[in-house]
Structure 1
Amino acid sequence: MDRQPFSVQPGAGKLVDLGGVGVHFKVRGGQTGGAFAVVEHPVAPATIVEPHLHEHEDELSYVLEGVLWARVGDQEVDLSAGSYLWKPRGVLHSFWNPGPDPVRILETISPAGFENFFEELADLISQPTPPDDERVYELCGQYGLTFDRSWLPELESRFGPMQMV
């Protein structure tokens, strides 16, 4: 990396769809010497990101529009536009949009690298033949990502069925 300043214009960056959650790449780790990456996540109504934890990175989310619900460890919050949410590595977390309006968040990932997972997952699930769960979980393991679905029944009983990403 040559440590040169850069800018990102509105709408710039690759956009991939993970089915209910998008990933709009804004700042790549290669641009920051691996210090951090930034992505935008549009989250469709009635969508939940499966409860998970990261072994290697912390995440800081900023709600750009809409109302996002989240649980980090034992803390559950609803976050309106302008709110921040810290999700430290090693702590189980999830976020969801019970609807009815779309949500958009800006996510800073530190250190960088995990943004590549989103791109690899999008490539994997966009194949003509959907991958088996084993291949998806293998990819997750390569990035130190693990899951725990124990929260899902209680969340669905309160918010209704949601598409899981």
Structure 2
Amino acid sequence: MALHLHTREDEYSFVLEGRLGALLGDDEVFADAGTLVYKPRGQWHTFWNAGDEPLRLLEIISPGGLEELFRKLAEPGGEYDADTLPALAATYGCEVDFEATMPIAERHRLVF
């Protein structure tokens, strides 16, 4: 997932299975099953599967409203990329930084 922030919502990831890696501001953290990771509004963050097994998590975003962005992204023909996604995300109070995402992806050998 690209490095991003929300201006209106807090985000929580409850790890159900596997190992979550996350960048929260300047801090890199890892969480195993049973751990709750808090990503407050206004904080740059991203997360990834940091283990060899599948990662399953319960994602909670509060208050509601950001789910409309996810619905928009899932619409047929809704192909967004580094040039078009930032403008769409901004309409939902979000910022996306693809340039800052690449060093994180390279460091952890992540594939999109």
Hey, what does 1:87 align to over in structure 2? 39
For structure 1, which segment, 66-75 or 129-138, has the greater mean C-alpha deviation from structure 2 after superposition? 129-138
> In the alignment, is the contact (CA less than 8 A) between 2:30 and 2:50 conserved in 1?
no
Gap regions ≥5 residues in structure 1: 1-48
Q: State the 1:57 CA deviation.
A: 0.6
Q: State the 1:162 CA deviation.
A: 1.7
Q: Paired residue for 1:158, among 78, 101, 107?
A: 107
AA partner of residue 140 (structure 1): A
Gap regions ≥5 residues in structure 2: none
Q: State the 1:59 CA deviation.
A: 0.8
For structure 1, which segment, 85-94 or 136-145, has the greater mean C-alpha deviation from structure 2 after superposition? 136-145
TM norm structure 1: 0.60
Larger Rg over CA atoms = 1
Hey, what does 1:42 align to over in structure 2? none
> In the alignment, is the contact (CA less than 8 A) between 1:98 and 1:162 conserved in 2?
no
Identity of aligned residues (%): 42
> In the alignment, is the contact (CA less than 8 A) between 1:57 and 1:89 conserved in 2?
yes
Q: State the 1:99 CA deviation.
A: 4.2
For 1:64 and 1:84, the matched residues in 2 are separated by 9
For 1:118 and 1:98, the matched residues in 2 are separated by 23
1:141 aligns with 2:90: yes
- Which structure exhibits the higher relative contact order, with contacts defined as CA atoms closer than 8 Å and separated by 6 or more residues? 2
1:41-76 residue CA offsets vs partner (Å, 9 max, x unmatched): xxxxxxxx1010001111111001111100111111
Aligned alpha-carbon RMSD (Å): 2.0
